Amino acid sequence: MLETNHSEMAMPLVLIVDDEPLMRLQLKRAMKQLGYQVAEATNGAECLDLYVQLNPDLVLLDALMPVMDGFTCCTKLQTLPTTEQVYPAPVLMITALESEESVERAFESGAVDYVTKPIHWAVLNQRVRRLIAQAQLQQQQALLQQQLQEANLALQRLANTDSLTGLANRRCFDAHFAQEWRRMAREKQPLSLILCDVDFFKHYNDTYGHQAGDRCLMSVAKAISSSVKRSSDLAARYGGEEFAVILPNTDEVGAAIIAEAICTNIRALNIAHSSSNIAEYVTLSLGVATMVPRPQFNSELFFTASDAALYRAKDEGRDRYCVQSSASFSSFMEPLNG
């Protein structure tokens, strides 16, 4: 049972748990004199239910009760979920037992302090005020830390995200590529790279305007992103109307399947492009390169190979992808020191 009124809504809440009505009454009066809200439970089982419902700031818990004693209840309290608090509410154990064993048991069950019966009320009041103040400070610090982490994550997302399309930006792409290049070199697994370019995009901007161009790039980005399924894959806006896709653990066949899916998804957008020399709608040209990275090779030349495939796709009529065969890589993949 919770006793409160409108003026007390911002005050800390103390959950009193004792099977003796007189003791609950005395504790309630003491807590109200300190200005706190009060909720009452007659045993440990009731305490667990109220604790989840009310999220108290402090629990005054009698050690010896029927149904569920205070030690068992306190242990269970430490694992209960709460909706508002980061840490469990502190438990002050109230016990008639003064043995060293009972005190140790109280602390082992999760209590942060204890008082013995008969209660010295001035001592109890001082400990309650201290524990609530400490708990509130701890919660505030935890909340600030959580807010700081969320703010840092938000800044990191902004720093790594293209503001127009929502895809990874060039900075994020470069970092991810370097990471996957090293990982695939260690694991001796294939890495694929797809470079994409919107066909005749300058003509599109000249015809429809830059706002329409932005909307076009946003739609293209979404179509590319929907073609990339795995968490290790990354689609990025590489610059202007250029996009890039990193596909770790993907061979030439797998990369070609993704490239074809991208082309299909772009065509399905059916974005009108009356200034295109090859189609009535927006299309892409793509260049695909695949290799197993080796430490002695310069990763920048991997981009050269993919870029060569992209230009070949343009030369062959656009609206298609071309694959740079790994057998022809000798003309691109020169040793770092050679």
In a domain, 80, yes or no: yes
CB proximity list for 122: less than 8 A, separation 6 or greater = none
Task: Report phi then psi at 100, rounded to 5.
Answer: -65, -35
Provide the domain count of the chain.
2
61 and 192, same domain (yes or no)? no
- Segment 267-285, tens digit of pLDDT: 999 999 999 999 999 999 9
DSSP 134-191: HHHHHHHHHHHHHHHHHHHHHHHHHHHB-TTT-SB-HHHHHHHHHHHHHHHHHHT--E
Taking only the tens place, the pLDDT of each residue in 65-112 is: 888 999 999 999 988 876 556 578 999 999 877 777 888 888 999 999
Domain boundary among 122, 152, 182: 152
CATH number at residue 63: 3.40.50.2300
List the alpha helices (DSSP H) in the chain: 21-33, 44-54, 70-77, 100-108, 121-160, 170-187, 201-208, 210-227, 252-269, 300-315
In a domain, 300, yes or no: yes
> Which positions are annotated as active-site residues?
241
* pLDDT value, residue 337: 47
Q: Residue 94 and residue 117: Cα distance in Å, rounded?
A: 7
In the chain, what is the greatest distance between 2 CA atoms, to the nearest angstrom?
94
* 94 and 229 part of one domain: no
Of the candidates 50, 46, 118, the one whose C-alpha atom is nearest the C-alpha of residue 89 is 50
43 within a domain of the structure (yes/no): yes
2 CB neighbour count, 10 Å cutoff: 13
The C-alpha atoms of residue 249 and residue 38 are separated, in whole angstroms, by 60
Q: Are residue 178 and residue 135 in the same domain, yes or no?
A: no
What's the pLDDT at 79?
87
Q: Which of 295, 164, 178 is nearest to 220 (CA)?
A: 164
Instruction: Tell whether 316 and 174 lie within a shared domain.
Output: yes
One domain, residues 101 and 201: no
Q: Same domain, yes or no, for 129 and 178?
A: no
Does the N-terminal peptide bond of residue 118 adopt cis geometry, omega within 30 degrees of 0? yes
Same domain for 144 and 236: no
Domain end position, chosen among 126, 152, 178: 152
Considering the domain architecture, whether residues 244 and 200 belong to the same structural domain is answered as yes
Domain extent, residue 266, equals 170-331
230: left (phi over 0), alpha (psi -120 to 50) or beta: beta
Give the pLDDT score at 143: 85
- Asked if 172 and 161 count as a contact pair (C-beta separation under 8 A), the reply is yes
Pair 148, 214 in one domain: no
Helix axes 210-227, 252-269, angle to 10 degrees: 140
Convert the pLDDT of each residue in 287-310 to its tens digit. Answer: 999 999 987 778 888 999 999 999
Angstrom distances, CA of residue 47 to CA of 15, 59, 120: 8, 9, 24
Per-residue pLDDT, 195: 98
pLDDT value of residue 333: 56
For the CA atoms of the chain, what is the radius of gyration?
Answer: 33
Local confidence pLDDT in tens for the 338 residues of the chain = 565 543 445 789 999 999 999 999 999 999 999 999 999 999 999 999 999 999 999 999 999 888 899 999 999 998 887 655 657 899 999 987 777 788 888 899 999 999 988 999 999 999 999 999 998 888 888 888 888 888 888 888 888 999 999 999 999 999 999 999 999 999 999 999 999 999 999 999 999 999 999 999 999 999 999 999 899 999 999 999 999 999 999 999 999 999 999 999 999 999 999 999 999 999 999 999 999 998 777 888 899 999 999 999 999 999 999 999 766 665 655 555 44
Q: What does pTM read for this prediction?
A: 0.62
DSSP string covering 105-136: HHHHTT-SEEEESSP-HHHHHHHHHHHHHHHH
**Any idea what the CATH number is for the domain that residue 193 is in?**
3.30.70.270
Strands 191-198, 242-248: pairing kind: antiparallel
Same domain, 116 and 185: no
Question: Is 7 in the same domain as 130?
Answer: yes
The answer to whether residues 279 and 229 belong to one domain is yes
Q: Determine, yes or no, domain membership for 165.
A: no
For position 338, what pLDDT does the model report?
43
Residue 338 forms part of a structural domain: no
